[in-house]
Amino acid sequence: MKQIPVESTEFRGALVAWFKRVGRKLPWRETADPYSILVSELMLQQTLVTTVVSYYLRWLKRFPTIRDLANADETEVLLAWQGLGYYNRARNLHRCAKVIAGGWNETFPSSVDALIQLPGIGRYTAGAIVSFAFDRPAPIVDGNIARAVSRLLDLQEPVDQPRGSEIIWDFATRYVQGANPRLLNSSLMELGAVVCIRRKPMCALCPVRSFCQTKDPESLPRKKERPKIERKTELHFFAVKDGRVLLQQNPGKRWQGLWSLPALPASSESARSNHAPSPSLSLSYPITRFVVRLNVFLREPPDSVRAGQAWHRLESLDGLPMPSPHRRAVQMALQRSWGI
């Protein structure tokens, strides 16, 4: 692996000049408010930019300040997050707001060391807030940066292993020690997001092509082999009584506090066996390394409800936080039953 002159005016200047010319105008790039940047960064983890834009704008209308978010109840927060998935991000954002608006008296920390004490804030998010909001030289490495840097360096070490990760972070650290860290980080990130893309990188348009060491960009970045995608099936039921739907509030980690269709009781062996009847409706959704098939059976209302279950009026469903696959399943079941 050859070094490249990452601290040079030529390298930084080429990237920054290119970014100023063609960088995308994104709403979180128009602000230096640390709360807005925190919101955008948590939303952008595992979600595409194009999806995040509308959520981000709606969120800031609903919770314009960190105090507004801290004072909101969890149901409101989960509802505003609904559709983005990975709800722990919303809970962590809410917890961060409570810490900053409460114990820290609305003083937003401006150092990486202080920020990583907050729930759900890692080295990347802390660096993003410090550089984007406070314009201080904190490095950031996300997937886009790791890919672009691994190619610039022709790095053969897996980027998700300690040695490879250390090399990328070292590059990002040296790179950001220049004038205007906010612009420096934004431009490196943009390079990976729009030019040095996963398939068919646009090397002919690359502002730092003359520094790039790789001859085979699509073979990089190297990563440790991932576990294979697994399939699993979840069985739930849909029951309606007097214009109300039976739902279950999730106690588990994945969808904690959200309302979903009740799981089929373990005693419903006929639906679980190999000779099970076909579900009334079925849909699939991905989550982490699983593809889940959600099978739903239309059932007569049960005589009694279990702990955590409750009947909800049809017209109140829009105001309940629900995981997207279950909301879709409820809509499909209502359409099937009543053409609603």
> Which of these is catalytic: 7, 30, 41, 269?
41
Question: Does residue 151 interact with ligand SF4 by CB under 6 A?
Answer: yes
What amino acid is encoded at 280 in this protein?
S
Q: Is 335 helix (H, G, I), strand (E, B) or coil?
A: helix
Q: What are phi and psi of 245, to 5 degrees?
A: -105, 140
Question: Helix crossing, 181-190 with 9-22: angle to 10°?
Answer: 70
- Considering only 43, 138, 148, 189, the residue that binds ligand SF4 (CB under 6 A) is 148
- Residue pair 151/127 in contact (Cβ under 8 Å)? The answer is no
Residue 49 Cβ vs ligand SF4, minimum distance, rounded to whole Å: 19
Cα dihedral 116, 120, 123, 126 sign: negative
Nearer to ligand SF4, 151 or 327 (CB): 151
Residue 275 Cβ vs ligand SF4, minimum distance, rounded to whole Å: 54
Question: Does residue 188 interact with ligand SF4 by CB under 6 A?
Answer: no
Residue 50 Cβ vs ligand SF4, minimum distance, rounded to whole Å: 21
From the number of C-beta atoms within 10 Å of its C-beta (0-12, 13-18, 19+), residue 99 rates as middle
Binders of ligand SF4 in range 212-271 (CB under 6 A): 212, 214, 217
Give the interface size with ligand SF4 as a residue count (CB under 6 A): 13
Report the alpha-carbon angle 316-322-325, nearest 5.
125
Site string for ligand SF4, 293-312 (x = CB under 6 A): --------------------
Site string for ligand SF4, 107-136 (x = CB under 6 A): ------------------------------
Nearer to ligand SF4, 201 or 325 (CB): 201
Residue 41 Cβ vs ligand SF4, minimum distance, rounded to whole Å: 24
- Residue pair 259/184 in contact (Cβ under 8 Å)? The answer is no
Tokens 């069985």 found at: 235
CA gap 310, 295 in Å, rounded: 21
Q: What are phi and psi of 24, to 5 degrees?
A: -70, 145
On the CB side of 157, how many CA atoms lie within 13 Å of its CA? 14
Residue 179 Cβ vs ligand SF4, minimum distance, rounded to whole Å: 22
Q: Return the range that interacts with ligand SF4 (CB under 6 A); candidates 16-24, 171-179, 195-203, 316-324.
A: 195-203
Question: DSSP character for 66?
Answer: H
Tokens 């809970």 found at: 91
Q: Is 13 helix (H, G, I), strand (E, B) or coil?
A: helix
- Considering only 127, 164, 201, 221, the residue that binds ligand SF4 (CB under 6 A) is 201
Residue 46 Cβ vs ligand SF4, minimum distance, rounded to whole Å: 23
Query: Could you confirm whether 41 is annotated as catalytic?
Result: yes
Give catalytic residues, as residue numbers.
41
**Which residues sit at the interface with ligand SF4, rule CB under 6 A?**
148, 151-152, 195-196, 201, 203, 206, 208-209, 212, 214, 217
